[in-house]
Each structure stands twice: as C-alpha cells, then as structure tokens.
Structure 1
Amino acid sequence: MLRKLGSIQRQMGAREGSLYLLARVLDGASGGRAGLYRYHLFWQPVPREPLLPSGKGARIAVRPVASEDATLERMPRPREVLRRRVESGDRCLGAFLGGELVGFLWYAEDRYREDEARCTYRLPPGGAAVWDYDVYIDPRRRLSPVFARLWDEAAARFRAAGVQGTFSRISAFNTPSLASQYRLGGRKWGTVTFLRVGNWQLAVSSLAPRLHLSRRAEPVFQMEMPDTGAPTPCAEDQGRGGTAPPAADQRE
C-alpha cells in the first residue's frame, strides 16, 4: 500500500496524489454517493500552423457530425449525454478512416455545463473563444495521425470563424492528458475542486465565486480572455506526464 501511495505521489505530485487517493476512498466507501473532483482549466491559443506536414493523414476524413447523423449512435457515450449536447447546441467533429469512426471532439460556443459536477462555465462574449471537450481517439489508433488530423481540422475551422483560442478542463488526476495539453501549447488558467456528498456540493475555485456551497444550485464561472503576455506555466504545474502520446480521451 505504501509503495503504491509513493508511486502515485511521484507521478502526480504530493498534493494531487493525496487528493486522488481521497477521491478513490470517498467513492468506494460511499457507494458512489460522495465524490471528489478536481479540474485544471486550460486556455489554448488556436495554432497558426498544422501539426501534420502536408499530405500526411490524408486518408483520414474529418467532418461535422450533425444532430441527425447516424454516427452519433456509434459513439461510445450514453445516449442521454449525447442528446443533452445536441439540445444545448454543441457541435461535433468526427474523424473517419475508411468510413469507420476513429475519433471525435465536441465544442461549445456559448457555455459548457459540467457533466460530473454541478457548474457552468460561461464563455466570453463575441465568439473569440470556444470550449472544447470530450476529445476521443479510438485506442487502436492512438499512435496514428488521427488526433493530429482531427485537431488540425478543428483549428482550421476555428481560425475561419475568428476564434482565437479554446478553453477546456482536464482532471488533475489525468497526467497523460495534462502533459499532452502542455505540449500542444496549453496554459493552465485556473483550478476548480468539487466535493459532493449526496445532493450537497462544495466548490472551491481559483475563479469567482471562489467558494460555493449548495444543495441544488450551481456556481457559474465566467471565463475571460487571457492576457496573451502571461508567463508560461512553471514546470511544477506541468505535472509528471513526460512525453507520452495523447491519451484516448484528451479532455476528461
């Protein structure tokens, strides 16, 4: 047990590793009635240059997945979750190889409602930013150009729409996705931690409101366009993910 604890803390850091273990204990001891969730919020400028060289990944087709598209039925997500996304007006891009769905990403243009805790992230007005989430790559294609091709197409569409950057949240316990986000130019913009016990929820955030306790209400976090001159995050913030390839789910 002590060896496992030490391994987790070396990978995540002492603070995040301890919170991760507490989250596991809470979930197991309560039968799912209590939980601890900790997210790092990121800002990522839309890249000007593609990740892939010209011609590479050309066999991978990337296109929008509309609300009536049968592709939605093939996504490994609960039908109710997908229905809420469509009803909220969120958009989806799918990556296809020989007609097979091999990846997708979702993004919101106005606000994003958290799906593990009660809260809403409201985007800055004017369309200069979107919230990207649930970036999924078929695990069999993890080492292929699928992710890069999908992200390149998304970035091209964002640039054409005047989007300057994307917000996202990643679990503080998902070190591979955190490392991937930093490699892609992401900057940590804030942190939100949720403690849920039954219907009660406590939110502690680096954003306003910094403290929120309620039984049914939810905090609303207003995102603001970051200062482009802000310093690059320090190495301690970047986690201990090394240079591993992108995880199957980028935004968890």
Structure 2
Amino acid sequence: MSPARVGRVIRRCVALLLVLGLAGCGDAAAAQTGTVTVFAAASLTESFTTLGRQFEEAHPGNRVVFNFGGSSALATQINEGAPADVFAAAAPANMATVTGAAAPVTFVRNQLVIAVTDGNPKRVTGLAGLTAPGLKVALCAESVPCGAAAATALAAAGVSLTPVTLEQDVKAALAKVRFGEVDAALVYRTDAEASAADVDGIEFPESAKAINDYPIVLLKDAANPGGGQMFIDYVLSADGVRVLTEAGFQAP
C-alpha cells in the first residue's frame, strides 16, 4: 500500500473514531440521571413543586429534592456548606451573598398584596388601613425579601405601623392570616393566590415600588451540575414559564 493511501486510511479511521466518540457523549448526556437538589424561596413552593414533578416526568431517572425557606436563611445554609445544586432566591441581594455562585438569571418577578381573611371582614382597602386601632398585622422580617419589599412599600405610602409579629418567610406570615392569628399580612401576590380558598389579596398601588426580581443559578460546587443545569433550563422553558405565570408571577 502506498504511503498516500496509508495516510488516507488513517485519516478515515481517526474521523470515524471522533464521530463515534461524539455520539457516545451525546448518548451519555441524553441518559443523564440522578438527584438534583434545589434550594428555593418559600414563595416558589407551589410552582416549583409542580415544575419538579413535570421535570421528573420529562427526564426519567432524575429526581428533584427541594429545600424551601426564606432566601436569607437558604443563602446562609449554602455558605455554611449545605449541599445544593441550584439556588432560586426571591431577591438579588440574597443571591449576592452566596459565595461561589456563577452568573444568576432573573426568571420571574413578584409583588406584594395585603392578605386578609376571606371576605375581608375588617374592610381593609390599602396600606393606610393597616394602622386602624386594634388591627393585628404580620410582616416578614426585613432580612428576608418579602420584609424588605414591605418596608419599601410602606415607606412609599408614608405609612408607619408596628406588626404584632415578624416572620422569617412569607409562608409563615400568610399562615398567621389563614389561622386567624392576625387580621392582615403583607405577602406576595402568588402566595395569596395559592391560598385563595382562605384569604383575599388586596392590591395596593405602592406595591409597584417594591417589585422583587427572582434570580436562579447553578452553584459552583454543585454535586450534580448537569442535572442542575437541566432543571434551570426547564424552569426557563415554555413549560416552566407557563406554570410560573399561571401562579401569578410576572415575566422579568
């Protein structure tokens, strides 16, 4: 066999090996399975639970495990070494405290409403009404996004009030209304809609001054970076956007 022909044969063999190798990599990516651990803001509980179930159906062999809570508490857990692949926060400020995070993507926005007992027996119509004598109000602590947003909205309205309780996440504040422990609470619109059987959500104009952006990120030390990115991609997909907007979130 001539040297030229030998060279052509070698080049064809190398090309074939490259094709087979790439095909194998593609098959491995398509067949990726495992557990994805997602730390997410409490206000994402219902929508992310739905997205997690749909993600598992769309990607057999994958399982999503959630840890829901106040964004500041979740950020602290991550910084202290808690294992997580994905972090979805209710405000950029909490995301910024997470060490080793890559560039986050804002995927939805949310704003506040006044949650009152079903039927609004106290006839609350706006923030000023929360200062009525004897009215019991719950707020989130200012260290968590719903509390920081509430402080901004109250300042914009020129309203000063003393809550009977400060809660560490929005679900806890809403629960105070649902169980009749307070008359009203400032919570996200999405949380009021998720509990529409028990509470009414009262819109107020100053909420436009305190809209929260929700960022999501694949953590640098993720144990399952491939699965984590697959979940983020699903959240950003048309199916993910549909679930989130139906829950009351706004497009960024």
TM superposition score normalised by structure 2:
0.29
Larger radius of gyration: 2
Question: Whose helix fraction is larger, Structure 1's or Structure 2's?
Answer: 2
TM superposition score normalised by structure 1:
0.29
Question: Whose strand fraction is larger, Structure 1's or Structure 2's?
Answer: 1
